[in-house]
Amino acid sequence: YPNPTFMASSFLDYHGSGNFKILGKKMVSKNCELLILSALDEIAWLFNLRGSDIHCCPVFKSFSLITLTSATLFIDKDRISPEVDLHLNSTLISTDSRVSIQPYLAVVAALKECVKNFSCVWISDTTPAFLALEIPEDKIMIETNPVCQQKAVKNDVELHNLKITCTRDAACLCEFFGYLEKNIHVSCINEYQASTRLFSIRSKMENFIMNSFDCISSVGPNAAIVHYKPEENSSAVIKKDQIYLCDSGGNYLDGTTDITRTLHFGTPTQKERVFLNNM
C-alpha cells in the first residue's frame, strides 16, 4: 500500500463516542443488532481516518461490523500506526468497549459467527454480495446506511473548513488561469501540460492530499466530451481562438473541492458569447 492510514481529527469537530451512540440509537429504533459497513467513505468518516488506497480518494480498504456494544474495524494491523491505534483505543463504543482491530480478510469468518447470535442484520443496497450471502434471508434488513445519513449533516467546524478550502483552491485556479493567459500567446501549451501545471500549483497548497478526480483540461471540440481526459502524447494545443474548459478539484485534509470554469483567451465569437453567458 502506498501509505498507512492517518487521522484527520485536528481538522474536524470529531465526536467518536457520540457518533457511535447516535448510530446505536438508530439501530435500536430499527430493532437491529448488527450493522455491516463496506462503503469506504463511511468507514473513514465514522472512525475519523484517511488513507490513499483508491485513486483520487483519501480512503483505505476496510470493512466494519457494528453492534450495540462493539465496533470492529477490519484492516491489516501493519496499516495502523501507534497514533492511530491510540486514537481507536480511546474511542468508547459503550461503557467498557473500544474499537477492535481485526485482519482485513477476517471479515467473512467474523460475520459468520456474528449472524448466529443476532436476529436482524442491517445492510445497504451496496453491501457486497459475498457478505450479504453469509446472512440468512430472514435476518436481513436492507435500508439506507445510517452512517451515510449522519455524515451528510455537516457541523459548524466542517462548514468553516469547507469555506477555507474553497478559498484556498480558488487561489490555485487564479494562479493557473493567470499562467495560461500570460503564456499561451508565446508558447504551445497543450491540455495535458496545463493539467500537470495545475496539479503542481495545487500540490503546494496547505493540507493538500491529492486530486479529487483526474483533471478535465479540454479545448475546442474536446470540451464537449463528457469526462474527457487529456493524454500526454495526444493532447490538443490550447489556442486563443477556442473555448477552454477546466474541471478539476482537490482533496485536502480540511475539505474537498470540485471547480469547473470555461474561458476564452482571445476574442470570442458572438455565438460563443451567448453560450458562455448561458452556462
pLDDT digits (tens, 9 = 90+) for 204-219: 999 999 999 999 999 9
Q: Which 3 state secondary structure label does DSSP give 41?
A: helix
Structural domains of the chain ordered from first start: 7-152 (3.40.350.10), 156-278 (3.90.230.10)
Share of the chain above pLDDT 90, in %: 73
Query: Which pLDDT score is estimated for 15?
Result: 63
Query: Which pLDDT score is estimated for 279?
Result: 64
Read off the pLDDT band of 11 (50, 70, 90).
low
Instruction: Kindly give the pairing relationship between strand 100-102 and strand 71-74.
Output: parallel
In Å, what is the CA distance from 143 to each residue of 19, 62, 140? 19, 21, 10
- Eight-state DSSP code of residue 54: B
Query: Which pLDDT score is estimated for 1?
Result: 43
Read off the pLDDT band of 12 (50, 70, 90).
low
| pLDDT tens readout for residues 117-156 | 999 999 999 999 999 999 999 999 999 999 999 989 988 9
pTM for this predicted structure: 0.88
Query: Which pLDDT score is estimated for 118?
Result: 96
**Distance between CA atoms of residues 167 and 212, nearest Å:** 16
Query: Which pLDDT score is estimated for 18?
Result: 80
- Mean pLDDT, the chain, whole residue set: 91
Pick 8 or 247 by higher pLDDT.
247
| pLDDT tens readout for residues 16-74 | 678 888 899 999 999 999 999 999 999 999 998 999 999 999 999 999 999 998 999 99
